[in-house]
Structure 1
Amino acid sequence: MTKIKHITALIEELSPLQYAEDFDNVGLLVGNSEQEVTGILVTLDCLESTVEEAIVNKCNLIVAFHPIIFKGLKKLNGKNYVERTVIKAIKNDISIYAMHTALDNSFEGVSAKMAEVLKLENKKILLPKKRILRKLTTYVPENAADEVRDALFKSGAGHIGNYSHCSFNMTGSGTYIGNQNSNPSLGEKGSLESVSENFISVIFEKHKEPQIIKSLITSHPYEEVAYDIVGLENKHNRIGMGIVGELSEEIQLNDFLNHLKKGFNTPIIRHSKDTGKAIRKVAVLGGSGSFAIESAIHSGADIYVTADLKYHDFYRAEGKVVLADIGHYESEQFTKNILVEYLTKKITNFAPALPEGRIILSKINTNPINYF
């Protein structure tokens, strides 16, 4: 029996909720995680029409990119589209899950799909995220150090960029006296013991902390395990907003803008003044991206593709970069495809599996903006 919590656990392997920005509202917004899943509808936005689509397709879980509940609800009177959507979902026993900036900050998320559409190479995170990494330090008897270290690696610790099994180790002396209620694995209770120990230090992404602590406690020979965890300010080079990459060859601005129009199926692109340079290095960020204009300039990008730029934002180009606003929906439209492909692949190898064809891509265009 596949429950909602099984599906959300798979989603959170792609976009852990800890990646989300502090202002955001992500996770299971409506429903019970213990509910059995009959089908999954994947959409960019969850609206009344989306809930109706889920009902027709016998899907009781909607996986949406944007959270329908963002600033919180004080009443449920059906007086606006948010309240009506939530009421309709509850009445029909449909759960709603949203990921938003948790997926924005994933290297395989929204901006990565934009980069894929544009066929960018040599991709890097535009705005690497801070405070994602933590450091664990523990102390292990020398004869058990290899076993504990390997357990930490298997649980996800010790990854730095393209390297795995990273740790720092020193040998020192640990002391302890066990009281009458103790059961020491080395030495006798009531006696001062001095043991040759290895100091082991590894880093890990904070969403992995529960599994790493569990592996440490399970593999460590001591009855009471000494360890400490500290948060790091280091940036994570594979977690963060936006992507910057390169085209296989440089092209002129007009040609690139036509490439954008075709790739993102948008009739209009608002852009700043042509800098006169050919386009080779491209920065992209799905959704509202004015906050990253200076980062795009600092990255050396020739053009920055994003959405929701205001009048005065275009002045910030300063002749150093071309700013291109392709529209909010247009920049994020492929997000639901990412999720359908990911879930289909994951659930194929997941037991108990959903019935075939029960992961459905929404056919509703939820873009609230129309062009004349």
Structure 2
Amino acid sequence: MKIKDIINVLESVAPPALQESYDNAGLLTGNREEKCTGILCTLDSTESVIEEAIAQKCNLVIAHHPVIFRGLKRITGKNYVERTIIKAIKHDIAIYAIHTNLDNILTGVNGKMADRLGLINRQILLPKNAVLKKLYTFVPQSHAEKLRQALWDAGAGYIGNYSECSFNTEGTGTFKGGANTTPFVGEKDKLHYEKEMKIEVIFPGWLQSRIIPALISAHPYEEPAFDIIALDNQHAGVGSGLTGSLPEPMEEKAFLNLIKQKFDLQVIRHTPLTGRPIQKVSLCGGSGSFLIPNVLGANSDIYITADIKYHEFFDADGKIVLADIGHFESEQFTIELLYDILVEKFPTFAVLKTAVNTNPLVYFA
């Protein structure tokens, strides 16, 4: 098994195209073509984690946070980032980060948080737009069904919870093959009229490298005609944050105690309680204060996230409880998420969860 085989699995779950523009997810050190000796899953790549990988004979560290986030002009070991990179390279340890692309899928970081709280009826809080594309193609009516199926098998045709979606229009196509052609229908050097079907399907942009080969393989023409256009539509299945519901309403303090229990918290920073029961819950792992306006628009009863600044707490305005549970604390179960994804695909391979607590904060009680 090569490192690229593990990366391919991760990127099929959380495509790199879904990371935010400021992010630096992907392979940060190492060679994709190297044989993988073992995988260590972690939230952060630190010197201690790299030392653990060396001791466990794992030459691939899968981390949520990219240890290289901003540009490095020198690598001299003056801080933990540079020391971590030096140690990883010196010991042939590959570091792969799967960050905001894992945040931005419904079953990712936020989905794992929702699992802990038992939320149902889950939806993306702020869906991404401009990630969908539309394909138009033209095919003889006799081959339309085969081509549609090939496109669906490649991942096209999903709209929300509906699959195998397409629009089909009958029409007449014309073409004249040149001297070096072998037309599927008609004769070379002679204008031909063919009853064709125009097929339209929507697909996520990151699947284009699969969609086009599937089209070409299933299409009977030597030169299939097709158009691809970018759409500004939102993709309901990807984006920031998550909103769900508790099966039954809970009293506010009881729900805060549930959060403390499920996330093993010593403290929760929160705004004053509203006196209303909690049922609709919004959450976002990591720094999620940018979503407060969306949470208020969703009429949620509580918003669970991290890194809320002093003045941002005022935005609750008595309408909602804002609960800051800590950055590490909100994302800690991402390690388990990564482990589960990889073990399901590689059940007999060495996949480990770090034993290093990388939380940089401690609480004095």
**Bin of the TM-score, shorter chain as denominator length:** over 0.9
Partner residue, 1:166: 165
How is 1:60-71 mapped onto 2 (pairs within 5 angstroms)? 60-71=59-70
Could you give the per-residue CA deviations for residues 57-112 of structure 1, whole angstroms, max 9, x where no partner exists?
Answer: 00000000000011121111111111111111000001000010010011111111
Partner residue, 2:363: 371
How is 1:56-95 mapped onto 2 (pairs within 5 angstroms)? 56-95=55-94
What are the ranges of 5 or more consecutive residues in structure 2 without an aligned counterpart? none
| DSSP-derived class of the 1:242 partner | strand
Q: How far 1:189 moved relative to its partner?
A: 1.7
For 2:355 and 2:128, locate their aligned partners in 1 and report how far apart those are by CA, in whole Å. 33
Q: How far 1:183 moved relative to its partner?
A: 2.3
The one-letter code of the counterpart of 2:311 is H
Could you give the per-residue CA deviations for residues 100-139 of structure 1, whole angstroms, max 9, x where no partner exists?
Answer: 0010011111111111111111111111111221111100
The one-letter code of the counterpart of 1:367 is N
For 1:265 and 1:12, locate their aligned partners in 2 and report how far apart those are by CA, in whole Å. 30
For 1:362 and 1:287, locate their aligned partners in 2 and report how far apart those are by CA, in whole Å. 19
How is 1:183-262 mapped onto 2 (pairs within 5 angstroms)? 183-262=182-261
Q: How far 1:17 moved relative to its partner?
A: 0.8
Is the Cα–Cα contact under 8 Å of residues 14 and 108 in structure 1 kept in the other structure?
A: no
| DSSP-derived class of the 2:358 partner | coil
For 1:366 and 1:46, locate their aligned partners in 2 and report how far apart those are by CA, in whole Å. 8
Q: How far 1:197 moved relative to its partner?
A: 0.8
For 2:266 and 2:343, locate their aligned partners in 1 and report how far apart those are by CA, in whole Å. 32
Partner residue, 2:353: 361
What are the ranges of 5 or more consecutive residues in structure 1 without an aligned counterpart? none
Q: What stretches of structure 1 move > 6 A for 4+ residues in a row?
A: none
Could you give the per-residue CA deviations for residues 199-237 of structure 1, whole angstroms, max 9, x where no partner exists?
Answer: 000011112111110110011111111111111111111
| DSSP-derived class of the 1:45 partner | coil
Partner residue, 1:320: 319
The one-letter code of the counterpart of 1:227 is F
For 1:185 and 1:279, locate their aligned partners in 2 and report how far apart those are by CA, in whole Å. 64
| DSSP-derived class of the 1:125 partner | strand
RMSD: 1.0
| DSSP-derived class of the 2:346 partner | helix
Q: How far 1:276 moved relative to its partner?
A: 2.0
For 1:273 and 1:117, locate their aligned partners in 2 and report how far apart those are by CA, in whole Å. 24
Could you give the per-residue CA deviations for residues 126-169 of structure 1, whole angstroms, max 9, x where no partner exists?
Answer: 11111221111100011111111111111111111221111000
For 1:145 and 1:293, locate their aligned partners in 2 and report how far apart those are by CA, in whole Å. 47
Partner residue, 1:346: 345
For 1:127 and 1:114, locate their aligned partners in 2 and report how far apart those are by CA, in whole Å. 17
For 1:93 and 1:251, locate their aligned partners in 2 and report how far apart those are by CA, in whole Å. 51
Partner residue, 1:98: 97
The one-letter code of the counterpart of 1:76 is I
The one-letter code of the counterpart of 2:12 is E
Partner residue, 2:15: 16
Partner residue, 1:289: 288
The one-letter code of the counterpart of 1:257 is L
For 1:90 and 1:183, locate their aligned partners in 2 and report how far apart those are by CA, in whole Å. 54
Q: How far 1:179 moved relative to its partner?
A: 2.0
For 1:131 and 1:42, locate their aligned partners in 2 and report how far apart those are by CA, in whole Å. 31
Q: Which moved more, 1:145-154 or 1:59-68?
A: 145-154
For normalisation by structure 1, the TM-score amounts to 0.96
Partner residue, 2:146: 147
| DSSP-derived class of the 1:277 partner | coil
Q: How many positions carry a matched residue from both structures?
A: 364
Q: Percent identity?
A: 52
